[in-house]
Amino acid sequence: MVQEDRKAGYVPFLYTPHPVIGMSDEALDGYVVGKNPDTGRPVIEDIIDNFTKPVDPAKLKFKAAVVEEDKTEYLKPDTEDNLQQLFYEQGWTDGLPIILPTQERVDRMLAATCAAPEEIVGEMMRFDIRGTVQYTVKNVATIAVMAGAKPEYFPVILAVAATGLEAIQSSTSNWSAMLLVNGPIRNEIGMNSGIGAFSPGNMANASIGRAWTLMSTCWVDMRPGKNMWSSLGSSLNYNNNCCAENEEASVWEPFHVQKGFRKDESVVSIFRGWVFVNSAGSASVRSIGEEMCLQLSTIPPTNGTATIVMDPGIARMLKENYGFTKKEDFARWLSENAKMPAERFWGYDHVDWMVKPLALQGIEPYASFLRAKPDEQITPYFDPQRINIVVVGGDTNPLWKISEYGYARSESVDKWRAKPAETDECADGTCGIPDPYDPADYE
């Protein structure tokens, strides 16, 4: 039929049983004669019918869900307990209780920005409607209240919303993300970039990261089985690794300055990927570089990206003991020395289906990687600009976290502030840690 009609640009869609990846030949033979979950008919019968019988025009494109838009701004009056239950049942939570967004609370949040309540901040993709959802400053303020944020955190949360990136994605894989804050606002709002920066305990880290996830659940319905299909999911999505860079303790340039922002500018940066792992020990037997290369050689380097979050002590050693005067120098060293056998590289599922097409098109260095012998060592992190280095931690142990997260984008916080930034120096990055002996820190 395609021979007879050069305009045959559209095709009918039909569905197979799921999942396909990793299934045996016998199972897939069963899928071919098994039920199409959309029609209930055998898949092969639907295929043959699509070839030989008139096609229902409704099958020619994805069927978008119709969402009844509720224009009511306020919910029906109810008790706090009943409203908490309503938010839970509607999926307007991460599973934990939220702070109910009363008008007074939202107004207090709105007072922390110069932006007008009805200003459009951005839009996110919502899969079931095959469309986007636009959100205003007021929508973001509502989310910020729900997450438990203080008004002074609001400019950071607005900057996160302005990226237009979802904390939770619709993929069947186990995505996760990291939300990094740089610049003076880290200390103004008491973020933790020091001891236990990734751990529970700091209100700013916890609620800013949580707010990002609530944007996904409330705005684009990223609930399991709704628009989120990740098979195992990720507990990292509770606060999305939200932390601040320990700029004061770092021997290197802050991350946002590497991306072209001024040092005195406050910025959020987002990283996303699949794998995020801890170093178990430090590097007292092998060198730091060797240890990191070993780890990088055992995770799928899908896009050649890596994000390494290291304690200030590691950064200091790399500079003082190994001579890496800049982050970029160490990134370049990793790009040249993190290797794996070609056979391992091409055996990773993601590399096979996302990278191999590039190799087959002759794009380098992938084409050379494809020509390599199975046991030949290749350098999958070949581009130092795709290796991100961030300094976080409290100098209690020279450790690091390693991931194949890619850098997504950064947004300035300052444009969302109610007033110009104030400089508040923090000597060691620990000013965000609540003092266990000072009750005022827990008010």
Partner 1 sequence: MAITLLDNVLSPVPHSLTANKGIFSAAALAKESLAKRLDTLDGKTIYLVDIGYGGSYKFMQALERWFQRNMPSVNVVRRRKPGSAFMDDSQELWEEIKAKGHAAVIGVAG
For partner 1, the binding residue among 35, 39, 41, 67 (CB under 8 A) is 67
Q: Please identify, among the stretches 244-252, 260-268, 329-337, 353-361, the one whose residues bind partner 1 according to the rule CB under 8 A.
A: 353-361
Q: Is 79 in the site for partner 1 (CB under 8 A)?
A: yes
Q: Quote the CA–CA distance of 246 and 256 in Å, as a whole number.
A: 12
User: Whose Cβ is closer to partner 1: residue 214's or residue 334's?
Assistant: 214
Determine, following the binding rule CB under 8 A, whether residue 54 of this chain makes contact with partner 1: yes
Smallest distance from the beta carbon of 129 to partner 1, in angstroms? 5
Could you tell me where the beta strands, DSSP code E, fall in 219-293?
243-244, 267-273, 276-278
Using the contact rule CB under 8 A, the part of the chain among 99-107, 234-242, 258-266, 331-339 near partner 1 is: 99-107
CB atoms within 10 A of CB 36: 18
> Is residue 89 within the footprint of partner 1 (CB under 8 A)?
no
Among 110, 158, 218, 433, binds partner 1 (CB under 8 A): 218
Confirm or reject binding of residue 96 to partner 1 (CB under 8 A). Answer: no
Q: Which listed residue (40, 74, 419, 423) binds partner 1 by CB under 8 A?
A: 74
Shortest distance, position 218 Cβ to partner 1, whole Å: 4
Nearer to partner 1 by Cβ, of 273 and 313: the residue is 273
Among 353, 385, 397, 424, binds partner 1 (CB under 8 A): 353
Nearer of residues 78 and 320 to partner 1, judged by Cβ: 78
Contacts of residue 287, defined as CB under 8 A and 6 or more positions apart, other chains included, come to 322
Does position 373 bind partner 1 by CB under 8 A?
no
Phi then psi for residue 296, to 5 deg, are -65, -25
Among 85, 96, 102, 374, binds partner 1 (CB under 8 A): 102
By CB under 8 A, which span of 69-77, 202-210, 250-258, 375-383 interacts with partner 1?
A: 69-77
- Cα–Cα distance measured from residue 269 to residue 309, given in angstroms and rounded to the nearest whole number: 13
| Residue 224 contacts partner 1 per CB under 8 A | no
| 21 touches 10 (CB < 8 A) | no
Q: Is residue 117 within 8 Å of 138, Cβ to Cβ?
A: yes
User: Considering the complex, what minimum distance in angstroms separates the CB of residue 130 from partner 1?
Assistant: 4
Figure out which of the listed residues 44, 96, 294, 367 binds partner 1, where binding follows CB under 8 A.
44
Q: Any contact of residue 154 with partner 1 (CB under 8 A)?
A: no
Residues 172-201 that bind partner 1 (CB under 8 A): 172
Total chain residues near partner 1 (CB under 8 A): 89
CB neighbour burial string for 104-114, b if at least 16 within 10 angstroms, e if fewer = ebbeebbebbe
Q: How far apart are CA 299 and CA 88, in angstroms?
A: 36
Task: Determine the Cα–Cα distance for residues 160 and 165; give it in Å rounded to an integer.
Answer: 8
Q: How many CB atoms lie within 10 A of CB 303?
A: 18
Q: How would you list the strands of the sheet with 387-391, edge to edge?
A: 276-278, 400-403, 306-310, 387-391
Query: Applying CB under 8 A, does 111 fall inside the site for partner 1?
Result: no
Per CB under 8 A, 92 contacts partner 1: yes
Nearer of residues 144 and 181 to partner 1, judged by Cβ: 144
Distance CA 404, CA 276 (A): 7
User: Could you say whether residue 25 binds partner 1 (CB under 8 A)?
Assistant: yes
Query: Does position 53 bind partner 1 by CB under 8 A?
Result: yes
Please identify, using beta-carbon distances, which residue of 18 and 409 lies nearer to partner 1: 18
Residues sharing a CB contact under 8 Å with residue 194, sequence separation 6 or more, in sequence order? 246, 249, 393, 394, 395, 428, 429, 430, 432, 433
Taking CB under 8 A as the binding criterion, the range among 17-25, 150-158, 188-196, 298-306 that sits at the site for partner 1 is 17-25
399 burial (CB, 10 Å; 0-12 / 13-18 / 19+) is: middle
Neighbours of 122 (CB within 10 A): 19
CB of 81 to partner 1, least distance (A): 9
Cα gap 398→311, rounded to integer Å: 6
Question: What is the closest distance, in whole angstroms, from the C-beta atom of residue 220 to partner 1 in the complex?
Answer: 10
Contacts to partner 1 from residues 129-148, by CB under 8 A: 129-136, 138-139, 142-143, 146
Walk across the sheet containing 267-273 and list its strands.
Answer: 243-244, 176-182, 267-273, 406-412
Judging by DSSP bridges, how do beta strands 243-244 and 176-182 pair with one another? parallel
CA distance 116 to 93: 26
Interacting span for partner 1 (CB under 8 A) from 52-60, 267-275, 322-330, 393-401: 52-60
Contact indicator for 337, 287 with CB cutoff of 8 Å: no
Q: Which of residues 387-426 bind partner 1 (CB under 8 A)?
A: none
Query: Judged by CB under 8 A, which of 37, 62, 325, 367 binds partner 1?
Result: 62
